[in-house]
Amino acid sequence: MIRLLFLALIVLLPIGAAAQELTGSFGPNEARQKLTIRSTTDLEVMGPVVESYLFGRPDLRIDYEQWGSNDLYELTASDCKRDLAGAGIVISSAVHQMVRLVNDGCAKTYRSAMTAALPDQLRWRDQLWGISREPAVIVYNRKLVPAGEVPRSRFDLLDLLRPEDSRYRGRVATYDIETSGLGYLLAFADSLEASTFGGLMESFGRSGAVATCCSAEIIDAVIEGRFLLAYNVLGSYALARAQNENRLGVVAPKDYTLILSRGAMIPKNNRATGEASAFLEFLLSAAGRASLEEALLLVRLDEDEGALLESPDDTQTIQRPIALSPALLIALDRHKRGLFRERWRAAFPISP
């Protein structure tokens, strides 16, 4: 059933020039239509979505490239500057970078009933669209964290970290904002959202929390018990692991839960606009949404039965979507970034 003809998994070492982490090709090689997708989403996660799209489209070939968010931003920006065709569609979780690309005039305008139906927060200038819905969550090790101590909110987390002899000292992790564009975005969104973030950073600093890279590593470390808790992990990755790993608990904080929507845009020099917009239409359609939900890229906070995500009863008021608006430009401001990094480094000094 699945028309997966060819799947190449090439792990490239990040040496020198930016390069994709993984590529995969779907559909027949000799297909007349071709679409290149560049995305920060793991090939493993996005693959099934692409396959379900290709179902019933025999003359389309999709090349999927998985990128780190900063590399993807730089590549797309340079394609834009040098008027290269680049990818057919770019999908990134670092939406501040996507906003910047659109602001710099690197995107193509596309409008349809489907895109118009998106809420304002998930649409900017008809050039950038939010396609997924992923909460930023707290993950914990079910075995090592007693049920009574599981932090339901940032205040709980602060309380856990406060005691001098807390056993959570040095065993709480979060994204390193310097290596992860997504980590920076979530931290930045936190800093805008509430004053708790300052206290949390300070608390992280005092308790020797660890900033490290990459969702997979952080989640693995929590499962293995090297970390007891991890803060601001992207829910889609956490839930994907929690499906077959009962040691992993996932909590949507009840003070507020950031909701990230991966941004999709069509680069302005793209020549396969038809294919790109058709894929976008699919992602926004009911079939596409079902497929995204399957891939855990669309997470409902209010799911009742067998929910892996532990969320409070009232899910409406806690959701804080990261709006696709020009206000995100500020996240990329040189001075702002410097100041933010300074504060961050005060809490997470570079380990020798």
Nearer to another protein by Cβ, of 121 and 315: the residue is 121
CA distance 19 to 65: 10
Helices (DSSP H) in 82-152: which residue ranges?
95-103, 113-116
- Residue of the chain from 111, 125, 162, 300 that contacts another protein (CB under 8 A): 125
Nearer to another protein by Cβ, of 241 and 268: the residue is 268
* Minimum distance of another protein from residue 231's CB (angstroms): 22
Per CB under 8 A, 115 contacts another protein:
no
- Residue of the chain from 336, 341, 346, 349 that contacts another protein (CB under 8 A): 336
In the DSSP assignment, the letter for residue 6 is B
CA dihedral 96, 98, 104, 106 (to 10 degrees): 180
- Residue of the chain from 42, 44, 104, 178 that contacts another protein (CB under 8 A): 104
Please report, as a single letter, which amino acid is at residue 254: K
Please report, as a single letter, which amino acid is at residue 62: I
Q: Is 129 helix (H, G, I), strand (E, B) or coil?
A: strand
Per CB under 8 A, 10 contacts another protein:
no
Contact set for another protein, span 275-334 (CB under 8 A): 325-327, 329-330, 333-334
Whether 143 contacts 225, CB under 8 Å: yes
* Minimum distance of another protein from residue 338's CB (angstroms): 8
- Residue of the chain from 124, 140, 204, 237 that contacts another protein (CB under 8 A): 124
Whether 215 contacts 233, CB under 8 Å: yes
Whether 217 contacts 180, CB under 8 Å: no
Per CB under 8 A, 102 contacts another protein:
yes
Return the ∠ at Cα 289 (arms to 112 and 113), rounded to 5°. Answer: 15
**Six token digits for residue 55:** 């179902």
Contact set for another protein, span 127-186 (CB under 8 A): none
Stretch in the footprint of another protein (CB under 8 A) among 118-126, 203-211, 254-262, 300-308 = 118-126
Tally of CB atoms within 10 A around 346: 11
User: Facing residues of 231 across strands?
Assistant: 174
* Minimum distance of another protein from residue 122's CB (angstroms): 13
Stretch in the footprint of another protein (CB under 8 A) among 97-105, 259-267, 284-292, 303-311 = 97-105
Positions touching another protein (CB under 8 A) are 102-105, 120, 124-126, 192, 325-327, 329-330, 333-336, 339
